[in-house]
């Protein structure tokens, strides 16, 4: 019998200025710490069984690349997106991020079949939180363009 396929996972590596403060921020948003992958320069946090982030001090992050690490308060290299089960869950996640010291840098998006808000963490990394009614999105087809 063949082994069942292992689901793909994602590990997002984020440079942070204050590791303990970033850990507290992400726990407030709803992520869970995984201390199997942690030391004084790194902490793995998990949003699900397949979605993880590695919070790395800027010095530790710099050890993985020779490129300059941009200031995420001034530039955007990537926009991260997490799905939620409902509009209410989108609002709850973003509200927790705001209460923990995050900001909401962009206006919410409401396309009827898709609803999203966003937050920037303490270091300026932007996370988009979204809900989508997939059946309604498929039925809408090209009639309702999604702004990127």
Q: Which of 64, 86, 117 is the last residue of a domain?
A: 64
User: Within a 13 Å sphere around the CA of 80, how many CA atoms are in the beta-carbon half?
Assistant: 18
* 117 pLDDT above the threshold of 60: yes
Adjacency order of strands within the sheet including 109-110: 80-83, 126-132, 114-120, 109-110
CATH code of the domain containing 42: 3.10.180.10
CA triplet 42, 11, 121: central angle to 5 degrees?
65
Paired tokens of 19? 């590791």
**Interval 8-64: pLDDT, tens:** 999 999 999 999 999 999 999 999 999 999 999 999 999 999 999 999 999 999 999
Higher-pLDDT residue of 125 and 147 is 125
Considering the chain, what is the average pLDDT of its residues? Answer: 93
Domain-embedded: residue 51: yes
Domain-embedded: residue 4: yes
What is the extent of the structural domain holding 127?
76-148
Domain-embedded: residue 1: yes
Same domain membership, residue 59 and residue 83: no
Whose CA is closest to 133, among 100, 87, 79, 72? 87
Domain-embedded: residue 70: no
Q: What percent of the chain has pLDDT over 90?
A: 82
DSSP 113: S
Same domain membership, residue 38 and residue 81: no
């Amino acid at each position: 019998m063949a082994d069942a396929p292992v689901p793909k996972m994602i590990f997002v590596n984020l440079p942070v200025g204050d590791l303990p403060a970033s850990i507290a921020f992400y726990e407030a948003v709803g992520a869970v710490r995984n201390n199997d992958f942690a030391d004084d320069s790194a902490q793995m946090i998990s949003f699900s069984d397949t979605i993880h982030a590695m919070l790395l001090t800027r010095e530790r992050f710099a050890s993985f690349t020779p490129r300059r690490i941009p200031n995420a308060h001034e530039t955007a290299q990537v926009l991260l997106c997490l799905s939620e089960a409902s509009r209410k869950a989108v609002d709850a996640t973003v509200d927790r991020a705001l209460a923990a010291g995050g900001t909401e840098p962009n206006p919410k998006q409401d396309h009827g079949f898709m609803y999203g808000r966003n937050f920037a963490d303490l270091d300026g990394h932007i996370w988009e939180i979204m809900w989508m009614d997939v059946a309604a999105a498929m039925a809408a087809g090209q009639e309702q363009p999604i702004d990127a």
